[in-house]
Chain A
């Protein structure tokens, strides 16, 4: 057993990866390539360079959609970094059984994510129906229209996203904390560091790359925002515009005007953001054994 992990220099490797590679090509690589092709050509399949990208920015909904997205991202990322990190640190300071119970509760909504959580929150935001009615009335909201006023929408979507997404990140962050060697925590204790000092000086620096991972990953996912504004729009008869987020705008252009090439240009914009985020996580955080 001198040689470690002997690799098989055989063609069988190709056979084993073949189904996955075919799927990856057909469902991942091909559509990504096709959307780039559409974005660079006209309806008549003539190469048009960056014209579609520039024309798409002239759409009157383009700038507002990206503004909405950025406001939403600002609130959602701030909430994530503040609450997920502090909740994980708090959970890590408890004994394992109590902590596990809390983690399960916090993770529960994450399992329900998607359209159900958005619809559920439409009730949570409806004064007179919501168990949080006292909070809403304290804020001076008396109708669903008050809760969902256009200026509130970035906060509302961030709230829904936090409710349905924070739990997964807490599980990840807690897992990162669990990898901190016990010895490091013991020696901090011997040095007289309290819970707070240990959290800030020992634990926080050790999970820095996980926080970076969460922020970049949530940025990439948040920039794809679709279900929340779409469902709020449909459920309220149009409080949120159907082109509230960039992804909605792209879909709107494709479905209602058959502007597939403009839609493709916006999709490429979003895809580029997502690929850059993924590459940064992969190459810069060192979490996946690549780069560094």
Chain B
């Protein structure tokens, strides 16, 4: 139908209209639930909210902060050494790291539960903090980052000038590591803050409600966990809480992540995740 002369332009514009319509529909799919949550929460009666909220918030903060601190202390030097030092087992360690980082963390939850049960750490904060601290992807990020040729020139120059290995790391590698360290902290905190499975398993068997992180505490308090095991044909959620209070609580669990996300938006937009692959 289109004349040959204007067909390329017309084709693009039709294609673009379709593209925009589809993208707006998908954006609505992703955005509407969040918008709903915000408006539902605004209208709520917050006086209904009570309980251990403050304790859970502090727990979540401690677990995520401690996990990220361990992750950064372990990942940055490990990635640095794998990138810049030669030692027997280096390549094996790198491959093992990549393998473990590609295994979903949830595959290790039950094994970690059985281990914690064996060493009597089940109700301890360390039962979640230590697993949060193991972050092989962070080691990989740090390794890729320090592989850069110009960094190696710097390290080499410092050595020639008489710096020992510790000084090179302390005074050159650590200051250089800031961007990658920030990325590791961001990814690690998002992962630990939203983790549900691990704390659920670790704190389930005992009456450890004062150990719950925020998302777990809210989930278990809202829906008191009693199940009949059969289909009841329910008409509504198994909770006595009004939706607005639930919405507020959900918003409270995700607000800290949103803050971290907005701070880190630069990396996501620049597609920097990409830079970590070959």
Residues of A in contact with B (beta carbons under 8 Å apart) = 1, 4-17, 19-21, 23-24, 26-28, 30-32, 34-35, 38, 83, 86-87, 90-91, 93-94, 100, 102-109, 111-116, 119-124, 126, 129-132, 143-145, 148, 150, 163, 167, 171-172, 174-176, 178-179, 192, 194-196, 217, 220-221, 224, 226-227, 230-231, 233-239, 241-242, 247, 250-251, 254-255, 260, 263-264, 267, 270-271, 273-275, 277-279, 281-282, 286-290
Contact = CB atoms under 8 A, between A and B. Distances in A.
Given A8-B86, A16-B78, A145-B233, A27 B225 contact: no
Given A13-B90, A234-B227, A226 B197 contact: yes
A100 B269 contact: yes
Which range holds the interface residue count of chain B?
35 or more
- The B interface, classified by DSSP as helix, strand, loop or mixed, is helix
Contacts, number: 339
B63 interface: no
Interface of B: 8, 11-12, 15-16, 19, 22-23, 26-27, 29-37, 40, 70, 73-75, 77-78, 80-82, 84-87, 90, 93, 95-100, 102-104, 106-115, 117-118, 130-131, 133-134, 136, 139, 147, 149, 152-153, 156, 159, 165-166, 169, 190, 193-197, 200-201, 204-205, 215-216, 218-220, 222-223, 225-239, 243, 246-247, 250, 253-254, 257-258, 261, 265, 268-269, 271, 273-274, 277-278
B153 to A, nearest CB: 6
A13 B81 contact: yes
Contacts of A17: 77-78, 81-82, 93
Given A105-B31, A235-B237, A289 B19 contact: no
11 contacts: A105-B27, A111-B254, A115-B196, A119-B250, A143-B236, A163-B30, A175-B271, A195-B12, A226-B106, A271-B111, A278-B99
Given A16-B80, A104-B268, A150-B231, 8 more contacts: A6-B152, A19-B78, A23-B133, A108-B31, A109-B30, A123-B237, A195-B12, A236-B238
A255 B197 CA distance: 14
A3 to B, nearest CB: 9
Given A145-B232, A178-B274, A282 B243 contact: no
Q: Which of A10, A31, A93, A124 has the most chain B CB atoms inside 10 A of its CB? A: A31
Nearest to B18: A90
Nearest to A148: B234
Nearest to B96: A24
A32 B111 contact: yes
A66 B197 CA distance: 19
Contacts of B273: 171-172, 175
Contacts of A148: 234
Contacts of A24: 96-97, 100, 134, 136
B194 to A, nearest CB: 3
A56 to B, nearest CB: 13
B243 A129 contact: yes
Given A163-B30, A171-B268, A234-B227, A227 B236 contact: no
B12 A14 contact: no
Given A172-B273, A220-B104, A143 B205 contact: no
B32 A274 contact: no
Contact of B33 (A109, A115, A221): A109
The SS class assigned to the A binding surface is helix
B108 A12 contact: no
Contacts of A242: 227, 229
A247 B111 contact: no
A167 B153 CA distance: 38
A97 B228 CA distance: 51
B19 A93 contact: yes
A105 B31 CA distance: 7
A145 B234 contact: yes
B227 to A, nearest CB: 4
A251 B228 contact: no
B106 A224 contact: yes
Contacts of A163: 29-30, 33
Contacts of B197: 226-227, 247
